[in-house]
Amino acid sequence: MHRIAIVGGGTGGTVLANRLASELQTEIEDGKVEVRLITADENHVYKPTFLYVPFGEKTVDDAKRPIEELVDCRVTLTIDEVTDVNTDRNRLSLADRTSSLRYDQLVLATGANLQPEAIPGLAEGAHHFYGPDGAERLRDELADFTEGHLVLSVVGVPHMCPAAPVEFPLMVDDWLRERGRREDIEITYTYPINRAHGLESVADWATDLFEERDITLETFFNVDEVDPDAEVVETVEGTELEYDLLVAIPPHRGSDLVIDAGLGEDGWVDVDRHTLEATAAEDVYAIGDVADVPTSKAGSVAHYEAGVVADRIASRARGQTPTATYDGKTVCFLEAGMDEATFIEFTYGEEPYVREPSKPLHWAKLGYNESYWLTARGLL
């Protein structure tokens, strides 16, 4: 039997498992191929939902579904934690199993992990919306925030959902104006390089909107430390910024599994950016946030990568030469407030064109958020 193991039940892992179940249906039913999805979480989480939780537009429960409801019945679903990847022996060790699992082809889709403790005082002094607990705490804090200085600081790069830090100040500006609080609240956005975003066209678009909406932009702002008692952010550049409410995008890191297996530094898997094959081991792929490719750590990237890897793995399972490649395709909606959004798409080496924000694009983003569960099932 040809055994395919996928580690991680996020967007990339779930879409890939369902794609393989479809592409290799005959081989699976004939007992020639096994597709196994291994994840430690019984729930599948759609993280972009958390952006809307602080504004009361969504709840954390809206962001999750039991993963067994999303995975094709032809996929062997294992709820367990992978504790070791041995690429020399093609084996995986699991927390709740005494024996290891063998694989013929392995895909790591373990995502990215928040690491606020990497910056002194950040965990104690800042809020974020990159997880369920953080989003709920920020919702409660924002509900009672009537005056003062609100700072959105991008501390860690790269990070998940790269558009979200730009979206948040535009959304909170609109949200505060609707409630008559905006005049008493100053908003500042900080970014570590010399512009408002890594993509130049997005940076230019955001800079114009920030100026129009009286949102202060601070660039070359690299956070070194946060003093929660004094409510001050200190930077590597030697500057300080006082705040009353600090919302931070914390540093991210990859998986310890990756480091321990010798597949990449800082937990990101070194891969060929077109084939998504690991450079340090054979029969290993990586997709989604954990793959070190020169594009965004976005759900759409994981989605398109999953399609490519499904084709490549299916070809190898049939004894054929894989030909599918990933061109860096990324698509992303960006909220420009509470009722308008824009949309970008690009591939490797391309600079995206930022469309004029509109209500229909905002509705399209909300519509996709609702239909995402069909994407996870491999139906879109």
Same domain, 152 and 234: yes
- Establish whether the linkage from the previous residue to 357 is cis, with ω within 30° of 0: no
Same domain, 22 and 105: yes
Do 324 and 311 meet the contact criterion of CB atoms below 8 Å apart?
yes
Q: Looking at the predicted structure, is the pLDDT value of residue 217 above 70?
A: yes
d(CA 54, CA 124): 18
Q: How confident is the model at residue 229 (pLDDT cuts 50, 70, 90)?
A: very high
pLDDT of 98 reads 82
Q: Looking at the predicted structure, is the pLDDT value of residue 110 above 70?
A: yes
Q: Is 375 inside a domain boundary?
A: no
Residue 350: count other Cβ atoms within 10 Å of its Cβ: 16
Q: Give the strand pairing for 91-94 and 101-102.
A: antiparallel
Q: How confident is the model at residue 97 (pLDDT cuts 50, 70, 90)?
A: confident
Structurally, the chain folds into a number of domains equal to 2
For residues 349-362, average pLDDT: 96
* Structure tokens given for 316: 């190898």
Q: Is 128 inside a domain boundary?
A: yes
Nearest partner of 126 among 99, 96, 104, 154, judged by Cα: 154
Q: Is 357 inside a domain boundary?
A: no
Q: Looking at the predicted structure, is the pLDDT value of residue 124 above 70?
A: yes
pLDDT of 186 reads 98
Nearest partner of 277 among 113, 104, 83, 108, judged by Cα: 108
d(CA 65, CA 14): 12
Same domain, 247 and 153: yes
Same domain, 91 and 65: yes
Instruction: Report which secondary-structure segment, H or E, holds 346.
Output: strand 341-346
Q: Looking at the predicted structure, is the pLDDT value of residue 251 above 80?
A: yes
Same domain, 272 and 234: no
Q: Is 268 inside a domain boundary?
A: yes
**What's the whole-number average pLDDT of the chain?**
96
* Structure tokens given for 299: 């759900």
Q: Looking at the predicted structure, is the pLDDT value of residue 378 above 80?
A: no
pLDDT of 248 reads 97
d(CA 361, CA 101): 45
For tokens 């996928």, name the residue.
6
Q: Is 173 inside a domain boundary?
A: yes
Instruction: Report which secondary-structure segment, H or E, holds 29.
Output: helix 25-29
pLDDT of 156 reads 81
Instruction: Report which secondary-structure segment, H or E, holds 291.
Output: strand 291-292
Q: Nearest 5°: phi and psi at 167?
A: -65, -40
Q: How confident is the model at residue 105 (pLDDT cuts 50, 70, 90)?
A: very high
pLDDT tens-digit readout, 263-272: 998 899 999 9
d(CA 43, CA 24): 25
pLDDT of 58 reads 97
Q: Looking at the predicted structure, is the pLDDT value of residue 280 above 90?
A: yes
Q: Looking at the predicted structure, is the pLDDT value of residue 278 above 80?
A: yes
Residue 237: count other Cβ atoms within 10 Å of its Cβ: 10
Q: Looking at the predicted structure, is the pLDDT value of residue 276 above 70?
A: yes
Q: Is 359 inside a domain boundary?
A: no
Among 218, 252, 286, identify where a domain stops.
252
Same domain, 44 and 91: yes
Q: Give the strand pairing for 284-286 and 82-86.
A: unpaired
Same domain, 289 and 194: no
For residues 59-66, average pLDDT: 97
Same domain, 198 and 315: no
Q: Is 183 inside a domain boundary?
A: yes
Q: Is 369 inside a domain boundary?
A: no
For tokens 């909406």, name the residue.
213
Among 289, 309, 329, identify where a domain stops.
329
Same domain, 12 and 97: yes
pLDDT of 380 reads 62
Same domain, 222 and 287: no
CATH number at residue 215: 3.50.50.60
Q: Residue count of the chain, please give it.
A: 380
Q: Looking at the predicted structure, is the pLDDT value of residue 379 above 80?
A: no
Return the axis-axis angle of helices 11-23 and 359-376, rounded to nearest 10°.
60
Q: Which residues contact 10 (CB under 8 A, 6 or more apart)?
A: 44, 45, 109, 111, 288, 289, 302
Do 279 and 272 meet the contact criterion of CB atoms below 8 Å apart?
yes
Task: Compute the radius of gyration of the chain from its Cα atoms.
Answer: 21
pTM of this structure: 0.95
Instruction: List residues bridging with 270 in a β-sheet.
Output: 292
For residues 174-178, average pLDDT: 98
Q: How confident is the model at residue 41 (pLDDT cuts 50, 70, 90)?
A: very high
pLDDT of 99 reads 84
Same domain, 22 and 132: no
Same domain, 247 and 258: no
For residues 166-183, average pLDDT: 97
Q: Which residues contact 367 (CB under 8 A, 6 or more apart)?
A: none
For residues 344-358, average pLDDT: 95
Q: Name the DSSP class of 279.
A: S
Do 163 and 300 meet the contact criterion of CB atoms below 8 Å apart?
no
Residue range of the domain that includes 265: 2-112+254-329
Of 138-147, 153-162, 211-220, minimum mean pLDDT range: 153-162
**CA terminus-to-terminus distance, the chain:** 29
* 129, 135, 139, 145 alpha-carbon torsion, rounded to 10°: -40
For residues 178-193, average pLDDT: 97
d(CA 19, CA 42): 20
Instruction: List residues bridging with 216 in a β-sheet.
Output: 188
d(CA 245, CA 122): 12
Among 207, 228, 252, identify where a domain stops.
252
d(CA 292, CA 296): 10
* Structure tokens given for 147: 């005056």
